[in-house]
Every structure is written in structure tokens, then in C-alpha cells.
Structure 1
Amino acid sequence: MALIPSSEINIGEDIEVVSQPTLTYYWDTANKRIIGYVDGKQAMKQAIYKIIQTERFQYAIYDWNYGIELDGLMGKDPLFVSAELERVFTEALTADDRIISLSDFNINESESSIFVVSFTANTTEGDITIEGVVVNV
């Protein structure tokens, strides 16, 4: 009688990867209400906007990988901020497994310490263009 089991276990042979649906509540930002549900590209677009509107480490309800770190850019030189925004956005959004990469960044300083950011998010739902995100640092 052996103390260690002798049967072979084949781990990973029968594992099937199943993608989770993106179905979520529809957040009507204009009227500040939740109305119905949304899925697919619209749900991904909503998730992107929600991530970039949530400061990382500020809310106990989210884990530490959720949100964006813009507080560290406040009061910094505009040239530094402009250079860092692409990195900060990429780091925040690619923490979500559904977002593969970001491309086509366009960052413009509209006024002192106010930047307008546009980019394309390459997601599991397809490419999503995000335009006119205002960042006030």
C-alpha cells in the first residue's frame, strides 16, 4: 500500500475556455439613471468610460487594478502630462481582460492643464473609438 496515489491525472486535457458575456446594466449618463441592459460593443464602450472616470485606489468597492491614476499628474508640467497620458490610459484599460490594446492616440492640450484624449481600443468585441475624453490635471 503506497502512501502516494499512483494514478495519473491529466490536468488541462478537458478544460474548455468559455468567454463570459458582456451583458451589464445600461448607464444613462445624461440622466444619471440605470435603464435596461446593454451588451457587446456598447457594453465595452460603457466599461471603458467607467474605468477612465474612476480614480484608482479611491473606492473600496473596486480592486486595486480598477480605475485610472490621474491624481499623480496634477500640477505637473504639461509636457510631462502629455507624455504620460498614453501610458496611464493604457495601463488602466488593459487591466481589463477584454481590452487587448490601445492605438491611434491623439492628445491635445486645449487650455492650461486641460487635455483632450482620443484613442481606439482593440477589444474582444472589436475596435472601439473613444473621442474627446477631457482630462483636467
Structure 2
Amino acid sequence: MIPAIGRSGPVTAALETTVTASEASPGLTYRLDWEQKRISGRVDGLEAVKQAAVKVLQTGRYEHLIYSSDYGTEWNLVLGQDGLLARPELRRLVSEALLQDERILELRDVEIVWNGDTVSFSCTAVTIYGDVELRKEGIAGV
């Protein structure tokens, strides 16, 4: 796409859109019981967004044909790399995966900690329903 040229040069400003809870896609979904590995009941609102975010973080991108190519994370691409080089890439990969959901507005307080062979990612996801804390850990090479 060729950018429009204005009097002051290229027009580069993004359109600002804000999604409200009433405009977002329906959030009512099945409740996933992670311990029992079952579906039990339904969830909506903030709990549904949290469940969706956890599911995205646990799903490898391109691993399952049922999901589009935009779904999941490529967490495994940075594991085994030097922490200093992998940190910004991991932040980008996880942000890109989570921000696909229109109910998640932004990620705050992103923290990536390398402890030996283990990497830990944590952040606060700001959603249209409120904030939710997210965390994922992985072992290098796994």
C-alpha cells in the first residue's frame, strides 16, 4: 500500500478506534476446567477473556489445523537463544498473539525473566472488562 502524501509529507497516523464491551464480539463461551480437562458450564466477560488469553498462550502457532495462522504463539522460536536477544522477540511474539483478540486493548507491565534454562513471561492485559494478570513459563529447547 502506498501512503497518502499530504502537505506536510506522508500521512502516517493510525486511525484510532476504541472497542467497548457492548460492541465487542460475544464473550459467552464454554468454561474450560484445566485440572479435570473437561468443559463445565459457561463463562462470560473478564473470565472469558482470561480463558481465551491462557488458551492462546498455551497453543503453538501453526500446530493445529483447526486454528487460523494468526492464532497461538511462536514461543518455541526464542527458546534456546541468548536471553538478551530473545527478550524483545518474545515480547513481540506474545503481544502479537494476545492483541489479536479485540477485547484485549493493551499489555502493561510486561516482564521477561531468564533464570538458567527457564524463561518466565508475565504481564497485565488491559481488557474492555478490566485487567487480568497473565503468566507463562518455558524451558529452553522445549
TM-score by length of 1: 0.79
* Whole-angstrom distance in 2 between the partners of 1:85 and 1:93: 12
* Whole-angstrom distance in 1 between the partners of 2:50 and 2:23: 22
Structure 1 residue 82, shift from structure 2 partner: 2.2
Structure 1 residue 121, shift from structure 2 partner: 0.6
Name 2:100's counterpart in structure 1: 95
1:102 partner letter: L
Moved over 6 A (4+): none
Name 2:52's counterpart in structure 1: 47
* Whole-angstrom distance in 2 between the partners of 1:78 and 1:84: 10
* Whole-angstrom distance in 2 between the partners of 1:50 and 1:75: 23
Q: CA RMSD in A?
A: 1.6
Aligned positions of 1:1-137 closer than 5 A? 18-112=23-117, 114-131=118-135, 133-137=136-140
Larger radius of gyration: 1
Query: Aligned residues: percent identity?
Result: 39
Say how many residue pairs are matched.
119
Which consecutive residues of structure 2, in runs of 5 or more, have no partner in the other structure? 1-21
TM-score by length of 2: 0.76
Q: Secondary structure at the match of 1:21?
A: coil
Q: Secondary structure at the match of 1:48?
A: helix
Asked whether the 8 Å contact 2:24–2:102 carries over to 1, the reply is no
Which consecutive residues of structure 1, in runs of 5 or more, have no partner in the other structure? 1-16
Which structure carries more relative contact order (alpha carbon 8 Å, separation 6+)? 2
